[in-house]
Homo-oligomer: A and B are copies of this chain.
Amino acid sequence: MVMEKTERKIMVAVDESQESMYALSWCLSNLVSDNVNNVKLVLLYVKPSPSVHSLDAPGHIFSSDVISNLEKHGKDLANSVMERAGAICRKLNTTNITMERVVGSGDAKDVICSAVKKLEADTLVMGTHSYGFFKRALLGSVSDHCAKHAKCPVVIVKYP
């Protein structure tokens, strides 16, 4: 019943939203206490797959310039999110934990669940968007999916 593992690996899924930065703050305030030095924090950012298809329809053809611009934008966004997340960690003075930054690419819900399994996370923390019914029905919900399918305890943090 009691868990006796020496290192705890906490994965926080971060994106450009305020909700995910709040989830990170919550995690640092509630799951990582000051005297704990066996925590590894994994910040996971998932870039959407570039929706670039070389189909015959002219609207779907992009020049290599456009593609490299899209890729640059994705990389910039990942860097910017990681920087914001790092700033929150520094602000909450968690110098005694080790940190790892992981950037994945693809469908967020699948990438997050795979990363939990592959990196053997002990806990997954994620924010949630308070979509209304229609938007939720259309978009699905990454946090719903991960709460069901990730192979570890999942913390769903709502932005108040």
Where the two chains meet, the residues of A that have a C-beta atom closer than 8 Å to any C-beta of B are 1-3, 8, 21-22, 25-26, 29-31, 33-36, 88, 91-92, 123, 143-144, 147-148, 151-158
Contacts and interface: CB of A to CB of B under 8 A. Distances in A.
Given A1-B21, A30-B153, A143-B147, 20 more contacts: A1-B22, A2-B25, A2-B91, A3-B29, A3-B30, A8-B30, A30-B31, A33-B33, A33-B35, A33-B36, A34-B35, A144-B147, A147-B147, A147-B156, A153-B155, A153-B157, A153-B158, A154-B155, A155-B155, A155-B156
A55 B160 CA distance: 45
Contacts of A155: 153-156
